[in-house]
Structure 1
C-alpha cells in the first residue's frame, strides 16, 4: 500500500502543472510515436498469440497475460500501414483505455520522457481528416506523433452511442433546449460521440479542441461581462489535450473569480487509481470514464434538474 501511495503522490505532483510523461516507441521505420504513461500498465516482449476467427485484421490475436485474455492490436495496421513483421521480436504495450485493457503491438520501445503539455501541439493543418494523430511534438529535433487511440479503438470495436430508455424524460428534454454545454476534447471521435449524446438529451453544444482554446473561450465571455457559470450548464473536458490539459484548465478556471463556480466534469479515457486524487486536487466537480452514453447523459440530466431546482 505504501508503494501504491508513493506512486499516486508522484503522479499527482504533475497535476495542475500541465505536465505529462510520454512512452516513446516505433513501428516500422524511424518515426517516433508517443503514448501517455498514465495509460500504460506494462511493456513486454510479444507473447504467444492465439488467432481469433472473424476478428478485425488489426487484432493480431489474443494473449493470456496475468490470468486475463487481452486482444493485441497491431498499431501499424491500425494506422493504415503494412503489418509488423516478425512479431516474436516485437513488443506489446499493455494499456487501459475507457476501462478496457488491450495491448498495442509495436516494433520497439524507446524510453519515457517528461514534457509540458505546452510543448504538445495539434496536428499540422493539411493532414486531412483521415489521419490518426491527436497531437505532435518535437524531441531532440525529431517529430514525435501522438496517435489518436480512441479513433483506432472506435474503428476496431465501435461503442454504442444509444441512450437507454428512461434516462431522459419529456420534462428534462423540454428544459434542455435552454441549456448550453461546453465540451473539450482533442479526439475528433470523442468530440462527435459526446456531441451526439448531448444533442440527444437536447442541450446546445459548443465543442472545442483543447484546454487552451477552452480557457480563451471562457475568458472572452468573462471579459465581455458575461457569466460562464450562469450561461453554461457545465463544462465536460477531456484530460489529455495538447497546449493545456484538463487538469490545468480546471485549475485556471477555479483560480478566476469570474468563472470559478462553473460545474466541471472531467470525462476521460484515463482510468485507474490516480483519478479521484487528481480530481479532488484540481477542484473538478466530477469524473467519468469514457464512453458510457447512459452515464454521461445521466450526469447532464442531473445538472439540468439541479439548475432548474428539480
Structure 2
C-alpha cells in the first residue's frame, strides 16, 4: 500500500498519497481454492457500494489446489472466470479496475491469468529501473487475441514500507519486486488522473495511460502499450488545476497559490480566484503567473487577499482557460467549493 499512497517525505511519497482507503482481505490462508474468487467478488461489491473509484488487486487465479477444477489458457478470454466477470461488472459501474499481471514469467503458451484477462481491467506488468521487462512478469495475449498487459510500471527493486516481524512492532523500508508493486503504482496514477479529471470514465482513464506510455505506437504482449507516464497521463484529457491550493501568510494578507498546467496555451488573464464571505456573492480576484513551467503559460499562479481564508465563513474556487477549454477547481464549481473545516483543520471540498 505504501507504493500507492505512502507519505513520509525523505523516504517515500506514493502517487496518490492523500487518498482514502478501503482494505479487504480475500485470501483463504495457505490454500488456493475457488471460494477465494467469491470472496474477491464480495469485496469488490462492498467497495463499489462505499463509493470506491479505483480498486487495485494483485491476486490472480488460474490453477487451484487439487482436486478442484483448473482454469486453462482457453478460459483467459475475459468472460469465463468468476473474478473477471466481477471485475468487468465493477468497471461498467464506473470503477477503475487495476490488477497486477502476475508473476508467471514469459511463456508459450502465454502465462496470462485472471482477472488481468478482462477487457476493462488495467493489467500491469513489471519492468526494472532501465525499463526492461522483469523476467517474472506474465505475458499475453488473451485466448481471444487481445493484447495484454495494458501497460507496465516499476516492479523490480521498488522501495516500499516493510514490517520486519510477525508482530508488526518493527518496521522500516526495503526493496521489493513483483507485479504486486507495479499494479499499485499504476492504481495510484489512476487516482491521480481522477483527482484532476473526476469526470472521466474507466475507459478514458485507461486511454490516458495507454496513449501516453512509451510504446503506444507499437504495443505488444510483453510491455503492452509500455511504461506509464503519470504527468503526461494526467494532462492527456486537457488542462488541470491543482486540487489543493497552498496558503501562506504575508503579514495581514494571505497568498493563495495553485498550479495550472496544460499542453495548450493558457490564457493568463483567465486564471482567477472567486471567494465568498459570510454567504455573500462570489467576488472575482485576478491571479498572476508567479512561476512559469514550460512554454504554455503553465506554472504556479498566485493571488493575495487581505483576509484569512481559513475561517468558517469563507468559501472559494478557481477558474482558468486555455485556447481549447475552461476548467474550475474544484470540479463543477461554484456548485462545489473549498472551505476550511474547523474540526479537521484542513481545506476540504463541499
Give the alignment's TM-score, normalised by structure 1. 0.29
Structure whose alpha-carbon radius of gyration is higher:
2
Q: Which has the higher contact order (CA 8 A, sep 6+)?
A: 1
